[in-house]
A and B are shown apart, each in its own frame.
Chain A
């Protein structure tokens, strides 16, 4: 029966090629536009570190004193003292201090011109915590952190640029005016969004140079910039004692119980600081969020992208209305034919499924072309001058979603017309013939 309906549907579609093309095109365009933007939204709100995002936490406290009345959330950064206090307590399974600064880098042996790069200052746990992949060598040790060792890890990009991609472990790099020894070279690594550094642009590349926190404070002194300050720093070149936030703390807590007890620890710390008079706001502004919660609170998906997604959904709705109207007109125009079939004994259900098959064929065709349009749309997004452009690719989830949406859309579009057609009264139609 299905094969017969399919044959009927194809015949009917062939009868009016222009109209069929219009309907397929409308569905295809609607699907293409909406799936392109939804894919972008889906990719931008993705998990940057799947499998571990649930155990990585971003503690926040609010050191601003006096507090501003319009300040309802703590800053996405800490002052040096709070961050190091919490870090020094070693209450987490793993923990890393993080901050970034611009720095001049060159490899004296290569004779290449110097580069201004972004340097990430962090502590040893950073690499195992965020599962950073190494091409050569490894990260530094906690001992290196403590002894202010002059070591660094560099990105695959920088290694390619300076050393042609060769194993550069053990070679030296001049970071500002200090020679540091390269201990590790990363594999290409680009967590998206760049979750661990809330200051950088959300979808930018990772830093090119990673150096121990304490060493880099000395190497690049004066080049660290504050996220914001609430008192004028006495010395802008020395933010350690300033009323400025500029350091991030990340902790790994392997079980919910540990996460709870860590949250209590941070709360106690904030309350204690408030009691001492250093904080104006204590536990009310303590946040210990895991990666995804933090990203949602930060709003990673750019406004423009969300607007586009809304627009595309409205667009899909317009295309859907369009398809329903055209299908309805098409089916009802065949009322005579349907009347004859009904009179000859076809049940309502048979007419209904016949019409639905026809709608489904249109949907499949629309879905196929819509999928091609989605690919084109994503190619267009990749050509855009936006920092998330490189992300725009179809993944399996979105590929399936596209097809399911296409068929569901057209079946939905076919539903009302098919229902209406199956209710055609045979006698009236026969009379009119």
Chain B
């Protein structure tokens, strides 16, 4: 295929050719970045979370009397256990993705304080007896808390409980003590210290910020007795078979409301909590999908429109070529090659632009580096789009009969 005539003809249509190249370049750049953003959001929405998400539900009970929690909590738990189909119940201070985040910073040296630069910020989960069962935590190493540890732990005036044991997630264990077993190691924040007695599979923090990152799974668990909980244990976690969950949740809310007439209840299944947390993220992802689709459609229409015009403009030349022996295939190929050339220039510029935009976004927004394969991926998409949209006009060009050449001369 001779491409010199194509160049010669494009040189005569410099402005439209440049425009189509620019359009393709911009489309390629936006497409790469938008698809990357979509993929990041989709992976955030599907972040793993090692609790029984399908089987847990919660009733949040607020406005109770802090002085009576020592007897109220056991009574409430007993009532919940009485509901048919309940597998386990427990109280906790918060749940993953509930937005109710208590953070604290710990160091690894005995003199570490909360404000040390080197301290690691983690989320605190205070849990009552049976929380591992109710949440469906997966223990990987060590053990969960025993009855004495629950009973002996309480809040004094400080925001950290008076206990010396902690269970942490696997990611946190690996980060704090790379290559070593975390069991028996200690977290310090003067004057508190907690020895790691167990490691559980990764559970999300109550709030993970706008995007997931290296801190997404930095969760820690502390035992707390009902009587010493000072009202932090507000989340009644109820575990059941997924199909019983809705009914049990309704019954549980009624029971807790009637047992605690002065309190305020709020019932949610865990799926609701998760869906709510990611709601705006998923709406943003859909918005991006919409933008990509419409943008590609506009680009395709642009190519169709412009090529159609070129075909119309060159009817006579096409006729002459056909008259002197060019086959329909040759004519098709001409327009397809022309489009391939334009698109290629466009995607080369576009890939550079996409990379630049990604750098800019990394600097000004919480955005990570785009993996390299997004660039050729975007290029391929636009090549295909170009070829697909040029097909119709090219076929129209190929159907120009040779006799056209003779008509208006």
Contact = CB atoms under 8 A, between A and B. Distances in A.
- Determine if chain A interacts with chain B: yes
Interface of A: 19, 22-23, 25-26, 29-30, 33, 64, 66, 68-70, 102, 104, 113-116, 222, 229-237, 303-304, 306-308, 311-312, 314-315, 317-319, 321-322, 324-326, 328-330, 332-333, 384-386, 416, 420
Interface of B: 15-16, 19-20, 22-23, 26-27, 29-30, 34, 37, 62-63, 66, 113-115, 117, 157-160, 189-192, 210, 262-264, 276, 279-280, 283-284, 287-288, 291, 294-295, 298-299, 301-302, 305-306, 308-310, 312-313, 361, 365-366
Given A303-B210, A311-B30, A314-B26, 8 more contacts: A19-B308, A66-B115, A318-B295, A318-B299, A322-B23, A325-B23, A332-B313, A420-B15
A326 B158 contact: no
- 4 closest cross-chain pairs (CB), A and B: A329-B309, A104-B63, A322-B302, A235-B157
Contacts of A68: 115, 117
Contacts of B26: 314, 317-318, 321
B117 A325 contact: no
Contacts of A29: 294, 298
A409 B90 CA distance: 62
A236 B158 contact: yes
Given A232-B114, A333-B312, A326 B305 contact: yes
B283 A384 contact: yes
A33 B294 contact: yes
A319 B300 CA distance: 11
21 contacts: A22-B305, A25-B301, A26-B298, A64-B115, A66-B115, A104-B62, A114-B63, A230-B115, A232-B190, A234-B158, A236-B158, A236-B159, A314-B26, A315-B291, A318-B26, A318-B298, A321-B20, A326-B309, A329-B305, A333-B312, A416-B15
B48 to A, nearest CB: 23
Contact of B30 (A231, A236, A315): A315
Contacts of A384: 280, 283
A213 to B, nearest CB: 22
Contacts of B276: 385
A336 to B, nearest CB: 11
Contacts of B19: 321-322, 324-325, 328
B113 A325 contact: no
Contacts of A116: 62-63, 264
Contact of A322 (B114, B159, B280, B299): B299
Contacts of B63: 104, 114, 116
Contacts of A314: 26, 29-30
Nearest to B299: A318
A386 B159 CA distance: 32
B301 A233 contact: no
A102 B294 CA distance: 45
A322 B117 CA distance: 53
Given A116-B62, A328-B15, A386-B283, A318 B27 contact: yes
A307 B305 contact: no
A304 to B, nearest CB: 5
B301 A322 contact: yes
A384 B361 CA distance: 24
A113 B264 contact: yes
A333 B309 CA distance: 7
Given A26-B301, A30-B298, A114 B157 contact: no
Nearest to B297: A29
Contacts, number: 142
A386 B276 CA distance: 11
B37 A321 contact: no
> Which applies to chain B's interface (DSSP): helix, strand, loop or mixed?
helix
B302 A26 contact: yes
Contact of B262 (A66, A114, A312): A114
Nearest to A176: B63
- Of the candidates A23, A114, A325, the one having the most CB atoms from chain B within 10 angstroms of its own CB is A325
A373 to B, nearest CB: 10
Nearest to A27: B298
A81 B310 CA distance: 76
Nearest to B20: A325
Contacts of A311: 30, 34, 288, 291
A321 B302 contact: yes
A50 B108 CA distance: 51
B302 A326 contact: yes
| Interface core residue of A29, A308, A385 (most chain B CB under 10 Å) | A385
A5 B10 CA distance: 31
Nearest to A36: B287
A104 B314 CA distance: 79
Contacts of A333: 309, 312-313
A242 to B, nearest CB: 10
Nearest to A319: B298
Which of B20, B283, B288 has most chain A Cβ within 10 Å?
A: B283
A386 B16 CA distance: 42
A330 to B, nearest CB: 7
B158 A318 contact: no
A325 B305 contact: yes
Contacts of B310: 329
A236 B283 CA distance: 38
Contacts of A420: 15
A232 B309 contact: no
Given A303-B366, A314-B30, A325 B280 contact: no
B306 to A, nearest CB: 5
A114 B265 CA distance: 10
Given A236-B157, A328-B19, A386-B280, A70 B117 contact: yes
B280 A326 contact: no
Contacts of B30: 311, 314-315, 318
A311 B27 CA distance: 10
A321 B306 CA distance: 11
A291 to B, nearest CB: 24
A318 B287 contact: no
Nearest to B103: A228
A299 to B, nearest CB: 11
A259 B142 CA distance: 61
Contacts of A115: 264
B79 to A, nearest CB: 19
Contacts of A102: 62
A321 B157 contact: no
A366 B126 CA distance: 58
B306 A308 contact: no
Contacts of A386: 280, 283
